[in-house]
Structure 1
Amino acid sequence: MDIEKEQAELPDVLEITDDISDISWMDYPVIAIFVALIGLVAAQFFTRYVLNDSLGWTEEVSRYFLVLLCFVGSITCVRKGSHIYLEFFYLFLPRWMIKPVAVSAEFITAFFFGWLGFLGMELAYKTKAQYMASVPLPKSLIYYTVTASCFLMAAIAFVRIIQLLRRDAHVIAAEKLDNFG
C-alpha cells in the first residue's frame, strides 16, 4: 500500500510544533523540577544497574519530586484551562447556557484548590517535626510547596472567572464548541 494513501486514511491528530510562545514565568519551576527529576532517576538507574551499589536517597527524593511535579505542573494546567473535564457536555447545552456553566466550573475549581490549600497548611504544620527517611529535611517542605501550588491554582482560577465574566457568551460558546469541529 502506498504511504501517502495510508497517511490519508489516518485520523486528524493535533499537530506537534516547536512553538513555545505560551510558556509563562509560572512554568519555569515545573521545568526545573522535571529536569531535576530526570537527573535523579538517571543517577538512581546508573548507581543501581551500572555500579551495582544504589544511592539510598534517590528513590525517596525522586518520589517527592514526582509529587512536586504533579502539583506545580497543575498550575500550568489551570493557567491554560487544560485540566480534565467533561467537555462534550457543552454539545448538549443551549449556547446561552455555556457561559454560566463554564463560570460555575471555574468557581468550583477555585473553591476546591483553595480548600486543598487550607488542608495542606494544616498538614504541613502537623508534620513540621517529621523528617524524611533518607535526607535530613522536614517533610513539611513538600507540603508547603503543595499548599502554595494549590493557593496559586485557586488564584489563577479566580482570574479565569473574571476573564470569563468579561467575555461575551457567544464567544465562549464558540470556543468551547470549536473543539468538536
Structure 2
Amino acid sequence: MRTLIFATAIRILTPVFLVFSIYILLRGHNHPGGGFIGGLIGSIAFVFHTLAHGTKQTNKSYFNLTFYKFDKKPDHGKFRHALRLLRKNIVRNKNEKPVFIWNYYLLRLRPTYLMATGLLVAVFSGSVGLFTGKPFMAAYWLNAKIPLIGSLGTPLLFDTGVYLLVLGMVLKMVFTMSKD
C-alpha cells in the first residue's frame, strides 16, 4: 500500500539512512562489523524507497547515471549558445520536431556490479599482504590520521568491499522479489 505520507517520509529519510550508513562504515573500520552493518543500513534506505515508489522508480532515481553531451561546440558565449539551444528546442506546431537532439549516455549501476566490485575490493585489500611477503589479510596503516575518520588502511578498504557486497546482495534480492 503506497501512501503520500510514506512516500514523502521516505524521500526525506533515504539520504539520512545513506549518510548514517557511511558514518557506520567509517566508524566501524576500527571496530568489528562496520562494513556489514553499514551495508545493511544503506540497503534499508533502498528497500524503503522500493516499497514507497516501486522498483522502476528506485532504479531510475539511484542506479541510472545520465551524462549529457552537446552535438557541437558553441561558437558564441555560453549564455548565447544556451539561448540558441532553447530557441531550437521549442516546438511551435504539433507535427514539427525539435531541431537540436540531445545526446546522452546512460550508465546503469546494477546490484550485481556492486557485488562484484565489493568482492574485488575485499580480495584486493587482503592480497596486499601477499605482495609484501606477509600473510593474507595482514593490515597496513598509513601514518596520517584524518579527522572524523581516523587512520586509513587495508581494514577500511576491506570494510568498504564488504559494504558494497552486502548492499548489492540485499538490493538484488529486493529487486528480484519486487518485480512488477
Higher relative contact order (CA 8 A, sep 6+): 2
Q: TM-score, normalised by structure 1?
A: 0.37
Q: TM-score, normalised by structure 2?
A: 0.37
Select the structure that is richer in helix: 1
Select the structure that is richer in strand: 2
